[in-house]
């Protein structure tokens, strides 16, 4: 991952990518999903600026948020302090050991906002292994993604223009994607255009089939139980824009 992907102008775009209304809908969805969790300690990975962690903390959940972006973690900590919420935010590369982030096994974990797929197979397996170690038996794991092959391959365009908000002003984002079908890798260039200024950022997504993800999860003690296509609970069909994977940490 190019470190510039989480710096400068592009960071402001990710910060405003979800409206307060969309965040509230996601918090409601997560509350419903985690209603029967073994305990109320949840793991948000990666947490970004903490919008979902903070939203859940307002509903009395205990939340730990992990993210590798120092700016996002600093912002999340400031927001928690301003809102007088007790949320643990930790700057953490998810490819490295985070098993010491909690003395209590997490009752649930979630990866929202299309943040899955940045890691290669060995790194993804390592991430799942750590999640398995950190989560209580019966705990639910939720992963939202637009980069699952059954979605990505039928929806991605080589060039996509979109209007975005940048510091409260209108700007444009051009996404140029090059997919290597043999390697299963999508390299994307993000070009931000604001007035007469432009900046370029790059990112790589590893495109996994649902069956591959299910196998990696099962290998470390999870069971993929359901795949949704929306927060409303619609079941996923091939070609839907996104997938929401719901897995459970199995009893040992």
C-alpha 103/C-alpha 227 separation (Å) is 30
- Same structural domain, 231 and 195: no
- Whichever domain contains 91, its CATH number is 3.40.50.150
- Please indicate, yes or no, whether residues 23 and 125 belong to a single structural domain of this protein: yes
Residues 6+ apart with CB under 8 A from 189: 175, 176, 200, 201, 202
Instruction: Give the pTM.
Output: 0.94
Task: Give yes or no: residues 79 and 198 share one domain.
Answer: no
Domain tally, the chain? 2
Q: Do 77 and 201 fall within a single domain?
A: no
pLDDT category at 48 given cuts 50, 70, 90 is very high
Host domain of residue 199: 151-205
For the stretch 157-173, pLDDT in tens is 889 998 887 777 888 98
Claim to verify: residue 243 and residue 121 sit in the same structural domain: yes
| pLDDT value of residue 149 | 98
Question: Are 100 and 215 found together in one domain?
Answer: yes
Judgement on whether residues 182 and 78 belong to the same structural domain of the protein = no
- 79 with 157, same domain: the answer is no
Q: Are residues 213 and 201 in the same domain?
A: no
- For 166-222, the pLDDT digits (tens) are 777 888 989 999 999 999 999 999 998 888 788 888 999 999 999 999 999 999 999
- Report in angstroms the alpha-carbon separations of 17 from 162, 176, 222: 12, 18, 31
For position 199, which CATH number holds?
Answer: 2.20.25
Q: Percent helix, strand and coil across the chain, each rounded to 5?
A: 30, 35, 35
How far is residue 119's CA from residue 95's CA, in Å, rounded to a whole number?
A: 8
29 and 138 share one domain: yes
Same domain? For 70 and 136 the reply is: yes
Do 244 and 186 fall within a single domain?
no
């Amino acid at each position: 991952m190019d470190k510039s992907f989480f710096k400068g102008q592009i960071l402001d775009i990710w910060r405003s990518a979800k409206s307060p209304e969309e965040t509230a809908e996601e918090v409601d969805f997560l509350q419903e999903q985690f209603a029967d969790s073994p305990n109320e300690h949840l793991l948000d990975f990666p947490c970004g600026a903490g919008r979902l962690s903070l939203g859940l903390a307002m509903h009395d959940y205990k939340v730990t948020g992990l993210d590798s972006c120092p700016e996002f973690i600093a912002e999340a900590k400031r927001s928690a302090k301003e809102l007088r919420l007790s949320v643990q935010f930790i700057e953490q590369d998810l490819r490295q050991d985070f098993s010491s982030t909690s003395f209590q096994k997490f009752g649930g974990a979630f990866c929202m906002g299309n943040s899955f797929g940045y890691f290669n197979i060995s790194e993804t397996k390592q991430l799942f292994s750590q999640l398995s170690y950190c989560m209580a038996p019966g705990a639910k794991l939720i992963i939202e993604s637009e980069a699952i092959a059954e979605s990505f391959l039928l929806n991605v365009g080589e060039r996509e223009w979109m209007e975005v908000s940048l510091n409260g002003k209108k700007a444009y984002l051009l996404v140029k994607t090059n997919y290597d079908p043999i390697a299963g890798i999508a390299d994307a260039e993000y070009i931000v255009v604001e007035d007469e200024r432009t900046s370029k950022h790059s990112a790589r997504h590893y495109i996994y089939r649902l069956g591959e993800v299910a196998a990696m999860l099962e290998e470390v003690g999870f069971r993929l139980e359901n795949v949704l296509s929306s927060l409303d609970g619609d079941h996923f069909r091939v070609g839907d824009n996104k997938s929401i994977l719901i897995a459970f940490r199995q009893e040992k």
